[in-house]
Amino acid sequence: MTGTDAVAPGAEGRPEIEVVDVRAGMFGAHGTGDTSGFGGLQRPVAMAPAATRPYGGWFDEAVDVLEEVLTESGTDFAAAVERVVVAPPGPHAELTLHVAREHVVAVCQALRDDQDLRFELSLGVSGVHYPHDTGRELHAVYHLTSVTHSRSLRLEVAVPDADPHVPSTVSVYPTNDWHERETWDFFGIVFDGHPALARIEMPDDWPGHPQRKDYPLGGIPVEYKGATVPPADQRRSYS
């Protein structure tokens, strides 16, 4: 399976991972940008498939309770939770819920407030850019922890590059304030309803979002004792 092949059935009817891109070199750089010496290395960029029940451990109970709470509040669980992922296989598996952006606040509210879930702590929001995941290029990832039940899970919301809007979750998790600003700063995901969505690390007039894969690999030339170190994509390639 290469390129942007769709999910295909694997052994015993289980879905295989979806490969959205194949990167070459240590950093996925093209031309002279890869100075690592690993120019011949090829690595797939793959999306984990939906898990099938039983998920294992406490995962089944948590998903069932979330479905019950959302249904009681008038939210269609199937529309809110697009996919349940349990990965990697084995005893260290983690639970990730892929959530439709229009329902992310309701899902966070349910996860925080229900007594059987109690994911009362958000450890932050981060971004991921998959340029070849067509229509889902930008992903916002939420890391939630239940101090009450000593459990952790992730939420993942995918939006298109052409419409990078996600509702802010600051009303549910106030600690996401700076994290949403950082994700906007570095990836360009717009968190609608954020109280003050502005850059937090880069200057206000900085062009672009520097952790996106399509951002130029080079940096700002640095002078050192009269010499100049050029940006990485202008240096010699050792591949």
Check residue 30 and give its pLDDT: 65
Check residue 6 and give its pLDDT: 41
Same domain, 15 and 87: no
User: Quick one: pLDDT band at residue 20, thresholds 50, 70, 90?
Assistant: confident
Residue 214 belongs to some domain of the structure = no
For the segment 209-237, what is each residue's pLDDT rounded down to a tens digit? 999 988 876 666 666 677 766 676 666 65
The pTM of this model reads: 0.82
User: Quick one: pLDDT band at residue 90, thresholds 50, 70, 90?
Assistant: confident
Same domain, 30 and 85: no
For the segment 178-192, what is each residue's pLDDT rounded down to a tens digit? 999 999 999 999 999
CB atoms within 10 A of CB 79: 11
Same domain, 85 and 17: no
- Over its C-alpha atoms, the chain yields an Rg (Å, rounded) of 20
CA distance 59 to 112: 16
Read off the pLDDT of each residue in 148-153 and give the average, rounded to a whole number. Answer: 97
Residue 171 belongs to some domain of the structure = yes
Residue 225 belongs to some domain of the structure = no
Give percent of the chain with pLDDT exceeding 70. 80
Same domain, 85 and 103: yes
Q: Would the pLDDT of 26 be above 90?
A: no
Check residue 89 and give its pLDDT: 81
Q: What is the CATH number of the domain that holds 80?
A: 3.30.460.80
Residue 230 belongs to some domain of the structure = no
Alpha carbon 148 to chain centroid distance? 25
User: Quick one: pLDDT band at residue 52, thresholds 50, 70, 90?
Assistant: very high
Same domain, 9 and 63: no
Check residue 32 and give its pLDDT: 64
Structure tokens at 235: 């240096």
Same domain, 45 and 60: no
Check residue 4 and give its pLDDT: 40
Residue 91 belongs to some domain of the structure = yes
Check residue 142 and give its pLDDT: 98
Same domain, 124 and 22: no
For residue 82, report the phi and psi dihedrals to the nearest 5 degrees.
-75, -35
For the segment 156-179, what is each residue's pLDDT rounded down to a tens digit? 999 999 999 999 999 999 999 999
Residue 154 belongs to some domain of the structure = yes
Give every CB contact of residue 43 below 8 A, 6+ residues apart in sequence.
22, 23
Domain boundary among 25, 49, 73: 49
Q: Would the pLDDT of 81 be above 60?
A: yes
CA distance 99 to 204: 31
If one counts the domains in the chain, the total is: 2
Residue 121 belongs to some domain of the structure = yes
The residue segments making up the domain with residue 93 are 50-205
Check residue 1 and give its pLDDT: 35
Same domain, 24 and 73: no
DSSP 15: B
Residue 72 belongs to some domain of the structure = yes
Q: Would the pLDDT of 238 be above 70?
A: no
